[in-house]
Structure 1
C-alpha cells in the first residue's frame, strides 16, 4: 500500500464541537477524522490522523511524514499565524507536498489571523469552507501523488 497522508491538527482543535460553534461548526475532531477516513478510502489513500497542542510535536510529525508519508494536510490552528518552526519544518521536507487547511476563513477574522506563516511553504491553502476543506485537501493530494 502507498505511504499514508498525514493529517495533522494543531492546538485547540481537540475542542471542536464545543469551541465557538458559531465559527467552527458542530463537528468534533473525531467526526472530521471519520469523514477523512471515508474520503481517503474512496481515493485509495491511507491516512495518519493526529492532533497535538504542542508545536514541537507537530514539527516531529512533519519530519516523520517525510520518511513515512506521501503528503501532509495540516490545520495548524493558531500556530499558522506564529510558527516559524512549522514553516521551516515544511521547507525542510520539500518536495513532500503540504496543504494548509483552516475551518474558518482566516482572512475574514481578526487582523492577526490574516497572515499565515505556513502558506509560503505549502503547495496550497484551503480556508473558510468548514470541515469539508479536509476532504478537498485529500482530493488535491490524491491528484498530486
Structure 2
C-alpha cells in the first residue's frame, strides 16, 4: 500500500496547477504597490480639493449674512416683521403717554408750591431729581439710610 494520502493522478494535477498559476515577482509586486499608493494620493487630493471648495462656499455664505447686518434673519417672514412693527408702535405710544403723565404730575406739584420761590429753585429741583434718577437703586438706598441715621 502507498503511504501517501493522495493518488498519483492527484499529485500530477496539483503540480500542473502550481505551474499554471502566476505568482508575482518582486518587481511586479513593487510596481503594484506604487500604483496603489498613487491612487491613494489622488483620492486624498480630491477630497482635500472638495473640502476647500466646501469651506469657500461656507465662508461666502457667512460673509453674505454678516454683510446684511446684525438683526437680519432670513427665516422671518415680512408678515411677522409687520406684526412686530405694529406691536412696537403700540408699546412706544403707551410709553409716551406714561411719560407725558409723569411730566404733567411733576409740573402740577411744582405749580402748587408757593409763588415766592424763584424759577432757579425749580430748575435746581429738576436737576436734582434727574441726577438722582440716574443713580442705581443701591446707591439711593445707602444714601437715604445715611441721612436717616444721622438725624
Specify which structure has the bigger relative contact order, considering alpha-carbon pairs within 8 angstroms and separated by 6 or more residues: 1
- Please identify which structure carries the higher helix content: 2
Tell me if TM exceeds 0.5.
no
Give the TM-score normalised by the residue count of structure 2: 0.17
- Please identify which structure carries the higher strand content: 1
Please tell me whether Structure 1 or Structure 2 has the larger radius of gyration of its CA atoms: 2
Give the TM-score normalised by the residue count of structure 1: 0.18
